[in-house]
Structure 1
Amino acid sequence: MSTQARRASEWTIHGERVVDDTRRAVLGIADVELPNGVRFEQYVLRVPPAAMVVVLDDDERVLMMWRHRFVIDRWVWELPGGYLDPDEDPATCAAREVEEETGWRPRTMEPVLGFQPMVGTIDQQNLVFLSRGAESTGAAPDVNETERLGWIPLTEVEQRIHTGEIVGSGSVAGLLAVLLAKANGRL
């Protein structure tokens, strides 16, 4: 695209160099130029896509995991989910992650939402699915993933977000999308 065809507010990327490249992330530094000509370097983190699931039972409770997140050093409620394997179907990944992490097998998988959690620095597609119900496999939850499981009433979700019990962007966005769908009669 020529410079003239670019939008007036579009940033120009003059290059990007890799600082660290691992299985789960590529950290780079981009050389960017603002529309007014100011040039600077910006860290960029590229992470594989992730998929998560709002598992909603017949009593309108959401399956969530109580887990410690060392980066923020807090215990929080989260939706089950994880990284997609290369070329993996997102719905397949989401269902696999629910079963691996919780011991529950989702009955259905409906796409709810796709989003980027931190577009100024991180490139990571997040996909949220809705499962209407789940069957217990009899397997115990993965001790490396969760301290315990809880079926949180959908009516309590907004308050738990406000009190900081639910803080992860995937969990917050997915749960709010489901609440919005319910409020608009789409659920």
Structure 2
Amino acid sequence: MGVEPKRASEWIIHGERVIDDTRRAVLGIADVELPDGVRFEQYVLRVPSAAMVIVLDDDERVLMLWRHRFIMDRWVWELPGGYLDPTEDPMACAAREVEEETGWRPRSMERLIAFQPMVGTIDQENVVYLARGADFTGSAPDINEAERVGWIPLDEIWQHIEGGRIIGAGSVSGLLAVLLLKATGEL
């Protein structure tokens, strides 16, 4: 197999140096060149992949976490999920995170959507799964993860997005995908 030829609008990467390397992120600076010859440095953040789950119950309610995000100093609703360990299966990670964070064990799960949240700066694949139903394990949710766990009616999700109470890229992307499936009768 040959190498694909360079396209006219493709940037050239002359190198990348690491600024900081931690367990959860590698921050670097890439030396890049635009197609017109302009050369500059661009910050690059490489973060482990993440997996999250939309748990939908029989009453079309979504299992969500009410949590504080210190970076923005805001309280928001989010889907349960987390970073993948290097060799972890994304679906196994997603199911584990739901149970640890909420005390609910998802039943059947299927891959819904995958995306990169900020393709110009960050490399981090996010995978969102759809679980139909969950069983309560009797475990209390992790206090470090959320103040409370709630079941939000699917019909109210758009109001929460529009009102700024659901703002995370994973939660918004996944929930919009579910709303689209519902609107087209595919849910």
Secondary structure, counterpart of 1:19 in structure 2 = strand
Letter in 1 for 2:163: T
Cα offset for 1:185?
A: 1.7
Q: Could you tell me how far apart the structure 2 residues matched to 1:186 and 1:84 are? A: 29
2:84 paired with 1:95: no
CA distance in 1, matches of 2:89, 2:186: 25
Per-residue CA shift, 1:54-82, capped at 9, x if unaligned? 00000000000000000111000000000
Question: Which consecutive residues of structure 1, in runs of 5 or more, have no partner in the other structure?
Answer: none
How many residues align? The count is 186
Of residues 37-46 and 175-184 in structure 1, the stretch that sits farther from structure 2 once superposed is 175-184
Compute the RMSD of aligned alpha carbons.
Answer: 1.2
Runs of at least 5 residues in structure 2 that lack an aligned partner in the other structure: none
Q: Which residue pairs with 1:18 in the alignment?
A: 18
SS of aligned partner of 1:58:
coil
Question: How far apart, CA to CA, are the structure 1 residues paired with 2:21 and 2:59?
Answer: 45
The equivalent residue for 1:60 is: 60
Q: Deviations over 1:61-107 (max 9, x none)?
A: 00000000001110000000000111111100000000000000001
- Alpha-carbon distance in 2 for matches of 1:14, 1:110: 40
CA distance in 1, matches of 2:78, 2:125: 18
Deviation, 1:5, is 2.5
Residue 40 of structure 1: how far off its partner (Å): 0.3
Letter in 2 for 1:117: P
C-alpha distance in structure 2 between counterparts of 1:90 and 1:130, whole Å = 13
Other-structure match for 2:184: 184
Counterparts of 1:1-187 in structure 2, within 5 Å, are 5-187=5-187
CA offsets 1:12-53 (integer angstroms, 9 cap, x no match)? 000000000000000000000000000000000000000000
What code does the residue aligned with 2:95 have? A
Query: Within 2, Cα distance between the matches of 1:159 and 1:36?
Result: 44
The percentage of counterpart residues that share the same residue type is 76
